[in-house]
């Protein structure tokens, strides 16, 4: 296929700014799907995505528009997946920057737009939802124009919902975005920008061919990971899989690999032919490491095998999810799971609960800490209970956080950032009304309630995004919670020393309220090492008897006893204290970030 | 075969059903009293061959046995086999000089009087018909008739009952010098009319009432009573001329003895088989008048279940319980833990290891039992 008839583009948009609706209109207008086949938001295949209205897994679709082949590469819309976004953008020559004309640019849009600019992509600015009464297309166009450095007239104004202006966007894609460049005669190289797992055919890689040509049945190799396999099938999505005999330079399509494990073919890797291999892989591959960790336990310990199977199956489709078995004396058998970020964690949790019908207990999220022990050994700590007490140095991951707010809320945002140990970087007016604030913040502060606080203090107006920015030493300490003198491993946390007392006290008070009174006084304590920093006492019950029991009601009283006994079996034993599952749930809910 | 030494006879008739009551009762129905006594005697004739001769105890419970028509009650008492202890439950307002004589002539040796409270406002909450003076009068009438073993039932934890109310109730009861006292915390059962009316009030009082049980035990022990079962107290032998005033019939339940029960809703436990007569009076009367045994629900008690019940019941008593008797249903780890925590006391004598609850253990008897018991059927 001639390169100049191909256009590869992505759509950058904030959640709810209409990307999926826009993609649907493109499919309709180009005849890729008939109206009858049209499901709303066709590109988002998983239920969860449909429901949350966001895109999690990127996909690519080929459509025809006036003698050109347009490859729309859909990108995940969230910071947790920014690496996947960057790979998707690398597969393109241009991007549509889609902004809701009633909302303006959001922090996340900005981050992805910068990413596109960094990748030298041609950006086509589009103001969407101009049909809404509260839309301000002029203001949105002004913001967009300033961001991409073009005159406001170049900003297209459309309504994806009604279809107004969508054909002009398609024309602009052909006119403004350059065709792919690449050497059709060089050894074949293709960028893997996404992959998914097919139950019957194994891992399916989505690729952009950069140089050369790939043919069906060709032996292939992933250059960075070294994984070898055969191209069982090549094809394009239009939008359903359509096999082709070959994929040439500039084209976007899929490769059926037959691999049984997505972790063997990572996003960002380069495919080449083993017959005539390329020398250098394409640049930019990164091994993405999980940064947020939490313990996941079945509420009913009998469901442990089901949880294990469910994680195995999720992992097939989600190479960035990691997990290993964890045993908590309070919560039983479960897994310590690593996530790219909080949204990723929420998604995994929801999929486990929804698709696998599991009842879960999830510990407060924590981040990856680096501890230097007295011996000089450096260890990475993913579970607060594993943080050594004697350490020389603890380092924590930092992020560069961007917050966009109306100018009236700058004060509250600064206040929050300061409370969370943020250090101010810069402030920039995006328009007369809207301000971009940039901070360096510990990731550990963000996983604890930051997003909720930000939203509530700015009445929902703030948009927020972050990029990982390395490790920095912190004055951090491990706080343990003891019930009946025994440490509850699942409740240990790592906090900044200044916050230790408050957080410890909160937890201890909550536990006192949640744990039923026992036969003995039960102390509930928060401690740093052997030093107790907060203490409450659950007073012993003074009486617990069956008022009467005579010949006529022995069976009934015995059945009551059996019921009581069964109830006890469901309790978790900590330090000789029976703690109902609900108590842990209540405390963990206090600790974990509430749903967005 | 003839080994059962304890007989329970159920007389369901009541003048009125009290809001908190959950026994099998029948209001009024004077016309049925005669037929019911006939049926009781017919059932006794059918089942009586398991009974030892003489019996150790007979207990007439209700209902309100003393509400039964006097002629019929007398006929029943006369027909009952001899026993060393014959107890009848009575409501104070039913006690007249005639009734007292009837009981005495019927060989009744012990009367359990449902006093419940001496505070008029609390009796009203309980829907009791007797007034405080009825209780006092009943005790004097029974004494005058020569009955020398009288037990009073008291309730505590009544909606609106203050600590001072409780202290007064106990003092008023003690003034009557009963040989025996049963003190029950009011159980407001979910779904009953009573709970519907008073549940919120009880909820509010729950914390204040937590100490009432201790107050009852301390007051009665201070007055020379033996706290021999969770809810039961009797005058110590040294103050009763050497008499053991524990309720022997009930003691048989708590010690796991076999017993035969006759009448509607009555339960028998004989040789590991527990049966319960169905509660409907119509069917009971017609079946027995046709010479058939009453319809029953039957439950087989295996060795583990029997051990569990022995433990549950035995721990209510102040006397040591033989570990070997309950070993099948005892968690040794829990036993050691609770002993270390001062809730259970272990002792050894010639007949093996024994356990009993300490004073604090007895106040928490329900929870301690749940901890100690081991159930085979419970999945881990």
B74's CB contacts (< 8 A; 6+ apart) are B102, B105, B106
Q: What percent of chain B has pLDDT over 70?
A: 99
CB-CB neighbours of A365 under 10 Å: 24
How far is B150 from B178, CA to CA, in rounded Å? 6
CB contact under 8 A, A554 and B274: yes
CB-CB neighbours of B125 under 10 Å: 22
Which residues of B, range 175-194, sit inside 8 Å of A by Cβ? 182, 184-187
pLDDT by residue (tens digit) across B237-286?
Answer: 999 999 999 999 999 999 999 999 999 999 999 999 999 999 999 999 99
Question: By CA distance, what is A569's nearest residue in B?
Answer: B380
DSSP B234-260: EE-GGGTTT---S-HHHHHHHTT--BE
Residue B49 — pLDDT band, cuts 50, 70, 90? very high
Given this model, what pLDDT does residue A54 score? 40
According to DSSP, residue A274 is labeled S
Quickly tell me which residue has 């107790």 as its tokens: A532
How far is A370 from A106, CA to CA, in rounded Å? 33
Between B23, B337, B363, which is nearest A576 by CB? B337
Selected for mutation to probe chain A from B209, B267, B335 (highest A CB count within 10 Å) is: B267
Question: By CA distance, what is B232's nearest residue in A?
Answer: A548
A-chain residues near B368 (CB < 8 A): 519
B209's CB contacts (< 8 A; 6+ apart) are B156, B157, B161
How far is A114 from A147, CA to CA, in rounded Å? 9
Between A545, A565, A576, which is nearest B365 by CB? A545
Between B184, B266, B308, which is nearest A558 by CB? B308
Which residues of B, range 337-356, sit inside 8 Å of A by Cβ? 337, 341, 343
How far is A525 from A535, CA to CA, in rounded Å? 4
How far is A250 from A253, CA to CA, in rounded Å? 10
3-state secondary structure of A452: helix
CB contact under 8 A, A519 and B250: no
CB contact under 8 A, A544 and B379: no
Between B23, B261, B369, which is nearest A561 by CB? B369
Between B184, B211, B379, which is nearest A542 by CB? B211
Bond before A225 cis per omega within 30 degrees: no
C-alpha angle A272/A275/A276, rounded to 5°? 65
Which residues of B, range 218-247, sit inside 8 Å of A by Cβ? 230-231
A496's CB contacts (< 8 A; 6+ apart) are A421, A442, A474, A475, A476, A477
A-chain residues near B362 (CB < 8 A): 545
* Distance set, CA B20 to CA A550, B112, B156, B158 (Å): 17, 19, 13, 10
Quickly tell me which residue has 């006929």 as its tokens: B75
3-state secondary structure of B227: strand
Report phi then psi at B335, rounded to 5.
-60, -45
Q: What is the least distance, in Å, from the CA of A545 to any CA of chain B?
A: 4
For residue A256, the cross-strand partners are A204, A233
- With an 8 Å Cβ cutoff, the interface of chain A facing chain B consists of 519-520, 541-555, 557-558, 561-562, 564-566, 568-569, 576
Cβ contact A123:A154 at 8 Å: no
3-state secondary structure of A241: strand
Residues in chain A, pLDDT under 70 = 32-59, 76-79, 589-596
How far is A184 from A4, CA to CA, in rounded Å? 13
Given this model, what pLDDT does residue B129 score? 83
According to DSSP, residue A76 is labeled -
CB contact under 8 A, A565 and B337: no
Strand (E) or helix (H) holding A563: helix A554-570
Q: What average pLDDT score do residues B5-29 get?
A: 86
Between B274, B362, B373, which is nearest A555 by CB? B274
- What tokens were used for B117? 């409270």
A-chain residues near B8 (CB < 8 A): 551-552
Given this model, what pLDDT does residue A222 score? 94
Between A520, A543, A561, which is nearest B370 by CB? A561
Given this model, what pLDDT does residue A414 score? 95
pLDDT by residue (tens digit) across B149-191?
Answer: 999 999 999 999 999 999 999 999 999 999 999 999 988 777 7
Q: Which of B244, B254, B261 is nearest to B9 (CA)?
A: B261
- What tokens were used for B181? 């006292």
Q: Which of A185, A27, A19, A160 is nearest to A88 (CA)?
A: A19
Residue B61 — pLDDT band, cuts 50, 70, 90? very high
Please classify residue B245 by burial: count the beta carbons closer than 10 Å to its beta carbon, then call 0-12 exposed, 13-18 middle and 19+ buried.
Answer: buried
What A370-374 contacts at long range (C-beta under 8 Å, 24+ apart), as own/partner pairs, is A370/A394, A370/A395, A370/A396, A370/A471, A371/A395
Tally of residues, chain B: 380
Given this model, what pLDDT does residue A595 score? 35
3-state secondary structure of A3: helix
Question: By CA distance, what is B311's nearest residue in A?
Answer: A558
The percent of chain B in helix, strand and coil, each rounded to the nearest 5, is 45, 25, 30
pLDDT by residue (tens digit) across B70-93?
Answer: 999 999 999 999 999 999 999 999
Cβ contact A372:A441 at 8 Å: no
Given this model, what pLDDT does residue B170 score? 97
Sign of CA dihedral A124, A129, A131, A137: negative
How far is B68 from B76, CA to CA, in rounded Å? 10
The lowest-confidence range among A37-41, A512-516, B193-197, B345-349 is A37-41
For residue A312, the cross-strand partners are none
Q: What is the least distance, in Å, from the CA of A105 to any CA of chain B?
A: 55
Quickly tell me which residue has 């591959």 as its tokens: A285
Please classify residue B352 by burial: count the beta carbons closer than 10 Å to its beta carbon, then call 0-12 exposed, 13-18 middle and 19+ buried.
Answer: exposed
* Contact status of B278 with chain A (Cβ, < 8 Å): no
What pTM did the predictor assign? 0.70
For residue A128, the cross-strand partners are A100
Cβ contact B311:B338 at 8 Å: no
Between B265, B343, B370, which is nearest A568 by CB? B370
B-chain residues near A549 (CB < 8 A): 230, 253-254, 312-313, 316
How far is A276 from A290, CA to CA, in rounded Å? 35
- What tokens were used for B222? 């201070």
CB-CB neighbours of A64 under 10 Å: 13
How far is A505 from A507, CA to CA, in rounded Å? 5
Please classify residue A341 by burial: count the beta carbons closer than 10 Å to its beta carbon, then call 0-12 exposed, 13-18 middle and 19+ buried.
Answer: buried
CB contact under 8 A, A549 and B253: yes
DSSP A45-69: -SHHHHHHT---S--EEEEEETTEE
A-chain residues near B312 (CB < 8 A): 549, 554, 557-558, 561
Q: What is the least distance, in Å, from the CA of B74 to any CA of chain A?
A: 24
Sign of CA dihedral A81, A84, A88, A90: positive
Spell out where A353-501 has E strands.
360-362, 366-367, 369-373, 378-381, 391-406, 423-429, 434-442, 463-473, 476-483, 486-487, 493-496
- What tokens were used for B111? 């009367």
Q: What average pLDDT score do residues B113-120 get?
A: 95
Given this model, what pLDDT does residue A589 score? 66
Between A547, A548, A565, which is nearest B373 by CB? A565
Question: By CA distance, what is B183's nearest residue in A?
Answer: A547
Q: What is the least distance, in Å, from the CA of B78 to any CA of chain A?
A: 24
Q: What percent of chain B has pLDDT over 90?
A: 81
CB contact under 8 A, B373 and A542: no
How far is B348 from A261, CA to CA, in rounded Å? 65
How far is A468 from A517, CA to CA, in rounded Å? 45
């Amino acid at each position: 296929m001639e390169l100049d008839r191909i256009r590869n583009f992505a759509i950058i948009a904030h959640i709810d700014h209409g990307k999926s609706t826009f993609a649907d209109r493109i499919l309709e207008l180009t005849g890729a799907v008939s109206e009858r086949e049209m499901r709303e938001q066709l590109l988002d295949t998983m239920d969860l995505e449909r429901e949350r209205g966001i895109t999690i897994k990127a996909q690519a679709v080929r459509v025809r528009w006036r003698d050109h082949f347009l490859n729309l590469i859909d990108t995940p819309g969230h910071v947790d997946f920014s690496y996947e976004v960057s790979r998707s953008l690398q597969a393109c020559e241009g991007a549509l920057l889609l902004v809701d004309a009633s909302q303006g640019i959001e922090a996340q849009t900005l981050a992805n737009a910068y990413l596109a600019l960094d990748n030298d992509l041609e950006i086509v600015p589009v103001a969407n939802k101009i049909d809404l009464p509260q839309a301000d297309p002029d203001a949105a166009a002004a913001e967009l124009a300033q961001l991409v450095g073009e005159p406001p007239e170049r900003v297209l104004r459309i309504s994806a919902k009604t279809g107004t202006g969508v054909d002009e966007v398609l024309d602009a894609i052909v006119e403004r975005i350059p065709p792919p460049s690449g050497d059709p005669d060089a050894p074949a190289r293709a960028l893997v920008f996404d992959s998914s797992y097919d139950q019957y055919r194994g891992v399916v890689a989505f690729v952009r061919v950069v140089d050369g040509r790939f043919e069906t049945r060709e032996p292939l190799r992933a250059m960075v990971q070294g994984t070898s396999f055969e191209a069982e099938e090549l094809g394009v999505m239009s939008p359903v899989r359509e096999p082709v005999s070959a994929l040439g330079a500039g084209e976007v399509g899929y490769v059926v690999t037959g691999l049984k494990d997505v972790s063997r073919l990572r996003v960002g890797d380069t495919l080449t032919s083993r017959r005539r291999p390329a020398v250098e892989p394409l640049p930019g591959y990164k091994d993405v490491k999980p940064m947020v960790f939490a313990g996941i336990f079945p509420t009913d310990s009998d469901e442990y095998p089901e949880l294990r199977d469910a994680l195995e199956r999720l992992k097939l489709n989600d190479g960035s999810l990691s997990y290993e078995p964890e045993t908590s004396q309070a919560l039983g058998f479960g897994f310590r799971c690593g996530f790219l970020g909080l949204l990723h964690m929420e998604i995994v949790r929801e999929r486990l609960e929804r698709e696998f019908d599991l009842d879960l207990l999830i510990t407060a999220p924590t981040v990856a800490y680096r501890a230097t022990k007295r011996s000089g050994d450096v260890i990475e700590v993913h579970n607060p209970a594993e943080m050594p007490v004697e350490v020389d140095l603890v380092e924590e991951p930092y992020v560069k956080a961007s917050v966009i707010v109306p100018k009236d809320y700058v004060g509250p945002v600064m206040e929050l950032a300061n409370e969370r140990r943020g250090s101010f970087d810069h402030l920039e007016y995006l328009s007369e009304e809207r301000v971009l604030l940039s901070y360096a913040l510990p990731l550990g502060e963000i996983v604890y309630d930051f997003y909720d606080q930000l939203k509530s203090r700015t009445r929902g107006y703030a948009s927020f995004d972050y990029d990982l920015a390395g490790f920095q030493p912190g004055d951090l300490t491990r706080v343990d919670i003891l019930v009946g003198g025994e440490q509850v491993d699942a409740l240990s946390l790592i906090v900044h020393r200044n916050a230790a007392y408050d957080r410890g006290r909160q937890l201890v008070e909550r536990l006192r309220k949640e744990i039923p009174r026992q036969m003995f006084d039960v102390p509930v304590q928060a401690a740093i090492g052997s030093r107790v920093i907060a203490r409450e006492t659950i007073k012993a019950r003074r009486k617990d008897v069956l008022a009467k029991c005579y010949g006529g009601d022995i069976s009934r009283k015995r059945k009551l006893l059996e019921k009581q006994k069964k109830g006890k079996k469901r309790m978790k034993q900590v330090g000789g204290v029976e703690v109902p599952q609900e108590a842990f749930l209540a405390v963990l809910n206090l600790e974990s970030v509430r749903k967005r | 075969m003839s080994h059962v030494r304890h007989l329970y006879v159920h007389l369901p008739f009541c003048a009125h059903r009290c809001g908190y009551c959950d026994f099998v009762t029948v209001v009024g129905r004077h016309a049925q009293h005669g037929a019911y006594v006939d049926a009781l005697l017919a059932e006794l004739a059918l089942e009586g061959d398991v009974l030892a001769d003489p019996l150790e105890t007979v207990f007439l419970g209700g209902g309100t046995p003393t509400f039964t028509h006097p002629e019929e009650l007398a006929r029943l008492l006369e027909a009952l086999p001899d026993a060393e202890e014959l107890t009848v439950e009575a409501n104070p307002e039913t006690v007249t000089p005639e009734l007292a004589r009837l009981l005495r002539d019927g060989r009744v040796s012990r009367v359990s009087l449902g006093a419940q409270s001496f505070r008029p406002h609390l009796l009203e909450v309980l829907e009791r018909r007797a007034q405080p003076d009825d209780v006092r009068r009943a005790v004097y009438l029974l004494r005058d008739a020569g009955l020398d073993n009288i037990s009073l039932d008291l309730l505590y934890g009544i909606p609106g009952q203050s600590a001072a109310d409780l202290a007064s109730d106990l003092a008023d009861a003690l003034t009557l010098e009963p040989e025996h006292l049963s003190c029950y915390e009011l159980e407001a059962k979910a779904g009953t009319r009573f709970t519907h009316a008073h549940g919120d009030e009880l909820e509010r009082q729950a914390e204040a009432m937590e100490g009432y049980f201790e107050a009852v035990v301390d007051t009665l022990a201070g007055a020379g009573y033996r706290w021999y079962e969770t809810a039961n107290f009797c005058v110590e032998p040294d103050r009763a001329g050497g008499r053991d005033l524990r309720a022997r019939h009930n003691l048989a339940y708590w010690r796991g003895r076999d017993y035969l029960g006759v009448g509607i809703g009555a339960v028998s436990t004989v040789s590991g088989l527990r049966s319960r007569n169905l509660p409907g009076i119509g069917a009971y009367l017609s079946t027995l008048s046709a010479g058939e045994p009453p319809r029953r629900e039957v439950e087989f008690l295996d060795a583990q279940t029997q051990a569990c019940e022995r433990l549950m019941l035995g721990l209510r008593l102040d006397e040591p319980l033989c570990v070997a008797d309950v070993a099948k249903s005892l968690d040794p780890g829990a036993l050691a833990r609770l002993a270390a925590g001062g809730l259970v006391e272990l002792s050894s004598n010639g007949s093996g290891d024994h356990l009993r609850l300490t004073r604090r253990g007895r106040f928490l008897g329900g929870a301690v039992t749940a901890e100690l018991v081991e159930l085979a059927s419970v999945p881990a």
